[in-house]
Amino acid sequence: MTNDDRKIREKLEQKTWNEIKTNDSWAIFKIMAEFVEGYEKLSKIGPSVSIFGSARTKPNHPYYKLAEEVAFKLTQNGYGVITGGGPGIMEAGNKGAKRGKGISVGLNIELPFEQHDNPWIDSDKSLDFDYFFVRKVMFVKYSQGFIVMPGGFGTMDELFEAITLIQTNKIGRFPIVLVGKKFWSGLIDWIKNTLLEEGNISEKDLDLFRVVDTADEAIDHLNKFYSKYQLKPNF
């Protein structure tokens, strides 16, 4: 490589690095904008519960129908419903909330596949996010409980982040309910037989979540939890 070639390459590399630094700096403003919009809209919704689950669950699937029933019964017990705003279990949650004439919130995420707003979200309570971490802050900050239906990697991410934040006392405790004993049994067995046996968690960490099979059991756990505390936003 000649000296001239080396100088050209160095200039190109420096230009690329400057562009990266500039993009990173400007991204801060986009992140701030997502936080501000989320805080402004969600601070007004009142006590609500988030429902998580697979975007791939079809409307004729028993889990879809169960999620819709859970959401409906949440509204009948005074809770609003927050979902990820997309299809599948999320759609079922918003649909059930709408049927119950309750608050129906959708926190949508821009993805190259799967994700699109479902039609059951209140028009003034639909938000779009580019950043997963901002969206997850909104779920935790404005939920009084998590109902976790069967799902994939995204569902597991949201579940374990909430458990970790509670376990480490970064947020106040709130009820986390896993719905579908058959689906969750393998994971629960691994947590008990591997994580607990290896000493990576403590026995009391198993009390941070509850596994149920029915909508009534899920609602009952929420109501019992909040019978001991004043129901208020989680902040």
Instruction: Indicate the pLDDT class of residue 24, thresholds 50, 70 and 90.
Output: confident
Contact 222, 175 (CB under 8 A): yes
Helix (H) or strand (E) holding 88: none
129 has which bridge partners? 109
pLDDT (0 to 100) of residue 227: 87
Structure tokens at 146: 């998590």
CA dihedral defined by 26, 27, 29, 33, rounded to 10 degrees? Answer: 150
Q: Of the candidates 52, 136, 128, 65, which has an alpha carbon nearest to the alpha carbon of residue 95?
A: 65
pLDDT at 120 over 90: yes
Report pLDDT digits (tens) over 44-74: 999 999 999 999 999 999 999 999 999 999 9
Contacts of 123 (CB under 8 A, 6+ apart): none
User: What's the rounded mean pLDDT across residues 150-163?
Assistant: 97
Count, in order, helices (H) and strands (E) of the chain.
Answer: 7, 7
pLDDT (0 to 100) of residue 235: 38
Contact 151, 54 (CB under 8 A): yes
- CB-CB neighbours of 159 under 10 Å: 19
pLDDT at 233 over 50: no
Residue type at position 224: K
User: What's the rounded mean pLDDT across residues 176-203?
Assistant: 98
Report pLDDT digits (tens) over 204-214: 999 999 999 99
pLDDT (0 to 100) of residue 18: 56
Owner of token pair 């997309």: 86
Q: What is the pTM of this model?
A: 0.86
Helices (H), 47-195: 62-76, 89-99, 132-141, 153-167, 181-190
